[in-house]
Structure 1
Amino acid sequence: MNNAELQALKERYVAAGAASPNKQFAAHATNAEIWDADGKRMIDFAGGIGVLNVGHRHPKVVAAVKAQLDLLMHTCQTVMPYEGYVKVAQKLSEISPVRGHGKVMLANSGAEALENAVKIARAATGRTNIICFDGGYHGRTFMTMAMNGKVKPYQDDFGPMPGTVFRAPYPVAYHGVSEEEALRGLRMTLRTDSAPESTAAIFIEPVLGEGGFYAASPTFLKAIREICDEHGILMVVDEVQSGFGRTGKMFAIEHSGVEPDMITMAKSMADGMPISAVVGTDKIMDSSGPNSLGGTYTGSPVSCAAVMAVMDIFESEDILGRANKLGEKLAKRFAKWQAEFEFVDNSRNLGAMAAFELVADKTSRTPRADLAAAITAKAKENGLILLACGMHANSIRFLMPVTIEDEVLEEGLDIIEKILGELPA
């Protein structure tokens, strides 16, 4: 079927709230390129929203999934466990920088990992409240919607959110929130909204994902760790988007040297297969009762096979080194654009987790969401998949596969540069 035929079916049968505004339909893909149902080639700078750090259909992942299909597809690990779940848990425990010996539970999605992290934190502390940050994004289930630091489009139509979720400022100096002010806001939240003795955990993205790709500094993350230690609060880092090599380390929190109590992860851990995880200190992870964590499909054998293949790829292809080199290339091109165009500002990256902002001018820093929307639309017309993000919807983010070929990367960046040159001053 072609794009038009598939679009007609989508409009007839797919719920509006679940439907993509994109009228192209993916047919097949390799590494950083996708071909739609009409045969048009697209360069992928979105990576399934950070899911494809090792590229579309990496041969080792495809081979591992195919081999697993010949052995076992499903038993539900709580009914009859299997090797893949245990091996993935062992590997994640070994690589995750949590305090002490780590234990693991597997789930299906990032939101499900966050839901379970809340459950575990409450069981471990006997407390109910959690604190999150402005601009944070944690998912689309009811608990994670309440945790999100952005209303639209995640909460608007769905009525009251769960209680016992409180908010603190995230430090974004470019938009007027210093680290000092953010910490003052957090302490005020602990004083006025969520008393320390009632607070189970503080959840933070070391690099905001949907919130704009702003990285929290090591000093800020260390201050969060100190506040948690002072009050017996658990520190939980959400690495669903920043994890698995995007920032040049396996997890973004490693740039700070801070050891959290729990880490949530998903997206690029299985190169497109659905799986997520919560990794935490053993005492914390063992705090809830038998069969209190899990689900029918959690940690499926096929997804576990994909995870182990991804782990092998990270070692054999130096994905972390490639992420840092990719980040350097992006930073160099961003600097050029920032020097040439008055409306391009605040370019930033931590490894290959990179973005820049569209503003009215560099003096006022007034966000221009309209320019960001225009760039992503024109990019699609020119064969490039590109995403905006941010609390002001004015940042362009880059989530292409870390394995992208140099010539494909440059082709995509040239498309953006051409579009920037055509925008009105």
Structure 2
Amino acid sequence: YVSMAARGPWIITTKGAVLHDNGGYGMLGFGHVPEPIIAAMTKPQVMANVMTPSFAQLKLSKALAREIGQTHDGGCPFSHFVAMNSGSESVSVATRIADVNAKILTDEGGRHAGKSVKKMSLSGGFHGRTGRPAMFSDSCRGSYGKYLASFRTEELLTVEPNDIGDLETHFAKADTEGYFIEALFIEPVMGEGNPGVAITPEFYIAARELTKKHGSVLLVDSIQAGLRSTGYLSVIDYPGFQNLEAPDMETYSKALNAGQYPLSILAMTPGASELYRKGIYGNTMTANPRAMDIGTAVLDMVTPEIRKNIVERGEEFVEKLKALSVELEGAITNVEGTGLLFSCELDPRFKAYGTDSLEEFMRMKGIGVVHGGENSLRFTPHFQVTSEEVDLIIDQVRNAVLKGPQAGQA
């Protein structure tokens, strides 16, 4: 369909159809055309050289420092924030900083002098589609390896999510075989490979300890999970993480830019920020003041009631999808979810995406949804979603399974 107008979670198409939108890849936390965001985006702004300091930069930095660490024992652990464009770009900057660290440690005289360098992320992990972020993204490696020559020599070590033994084995192997793991990238809640699966505090503790011991950089990629999964932007404010040591770096984007204007943030601890070297990165639209005004407006909109609704409606969705799985006797094989980032995996007799899929069928019946994982429907509703809307979506999932197409059927 082609959209003509939208407001909140609702879209009107050029044909006059009405859809409830749950498929914006996590960006539209406040729905379409949120008035405070539009007001921030349209006010007069100096854009002559956006890389110079601005009041918008100061306001967003203060807003981020207030938001991050508000439930954490140590408060906000990040001393520096870098504002970039898309989420993938903030990860690109993070990879440059990890690269600096790798060179220091593997150069002559370094702790890992002369060793080859490898990357590590989670099985099914996703960190962007540009340059080095793509090389850390296991969820897309099938296509990249098939078509891109640059991936012939790129070796990515992958760890099963929440498998501490697997993580320990990989770091032990690096020591015995003599290579250096430059960085471990993890999503606190997976957005692509297995949408809705959350990292446990125990796994995170092991990741933090092993990366510090080895000398690796630890990046938490909260681009899709930030705000959407627990109501908090940073992993350090998640339940069970409030007394844990922060990662070296953390990235945010989708919900923070409200789906209205490209903005991503790379947050750095003092140690990570000290690794940055002048000349290793630059961008015409870095620290865009208009984008940063939007980020500040989004954080101002996140109230205790919004945070509570994200958690409670997320629990309601998962509970009702699991009940639907029982009712439909095997059509839904698994349900995963953390807050308002959740998915239901379909039996192979159903297609999650493409022509004659349940994704397509549900859109035609008025529910905007996207696919994720191997064969799952992925949902990212707006933050103020109601129980009535929950029931609407569950009813349409049921309808799609019972009346929609099955794989191989026209």
TM-score if structure 1 supplies the norm length?
A: 0.81
Q: State the distance in 2 between where 1:194 and 1:203 align.
A: 21
- Alignment-derived partner of residue 146 in structure 1: 135
Pair 1:220–1:146, CA change in 2 (3 A): same
- Alignment-derived partner of residue 123 in structure 2: 134
Q: State the distance in 2 between where 1:153 and 1:191 align.
A: 31
After the TM superposition, which parts of structure 1 deviate over 6 Å for at least 4 consecutive aligned residues?
none
Matched, 1:383 2:370: no
- Alignment-derived partner of residue 111 in structure 2: none
Number of residue pairs aligned between Structure 1 and Structure 2: 379
- 1:420 maps to which of 388, 398, 401: 401
> Is the partner of 2:62 in helix, strand or coil?
helix
Matches within 5 A, 1:199-214: 199-213=181-195, 214=197
Matches within 5 A, 1:19-418: 24-46=1-23, 48-67=24-43, 70-72=44-46, 74-78=47-51, 80-97=52-69, 100-124=77-101, 126-127=104-105, 129-150=118-139, 151-161=141-151, 165-171=155-161, 179-187=163-171, 190-191=174-175, 195=179, 198-213=180-195, 214-252=197-235, 254-257=238-241, 258=244, 259-272=246-259, 273-290=261-278, 292-315=280-303, 318-341=305-328, 342-359=330-347, 370=351, 374-390=357-373, 393-418=374-399
Pair 1:28–1:106, CA change in 2 (3 A): same
Q: State the distance in 2 between where 1:108 and 1:335 align.
A: 37
> Is the partner of 2:342 in helix, strand or coil?
strand
Q: State the distance in 1 between where 2:170 and 2:349 align.
A: 29
Amino acid at match of 2:182: A
Q: State the distance in 1 between where 2:86 and 2:194 align.
A: 21
Identity %: 24
1:246–1:402 Cα contact (<8 Å) kept: no
Q: State the distance in 2 between where 1:410 and 1:313 align.
A: 26
Amino acid at match of 2:378: R
> Is the partner of 1:120 in helix, strand or coil?
helix
- Alignment-derived partner of residue 15 in structure 1: none
Q: Report the RMSD for the aligned CA atoms in angstroms.
A: 2.6
1:145–1:155 Cα contact (<8 Å) kept: no
> Is the partner of 1:50 in helix, strand or coil?
coil
> Is the partner of 1:397 in helix, strand or coil?
strand
Q: Structure 1: 5+ residue runs without aligned partners?
A: 1-23, 172-177, 360-366
TM-score if structure 2 supplies the norm length?
A: 0.84
1:143–1:161 Cα contact (<8 Å) kept: no
Q: Structure 2: 5+ residue runs without aligned partners?
A: 70-74, 106-116
1:146–1:162 Cα contact (<8 Å) kept: no
1:167–1:189 Cα contact (<8 Å) kept: no
2:352–2:377 Cα contact (<8 Å) kept: no
Q: State the distance in 1 between where 2:181 and 2:399 align.
A: 50
Q: State the distance in 2 between where 1:241 and 1:388 align.
A: 15
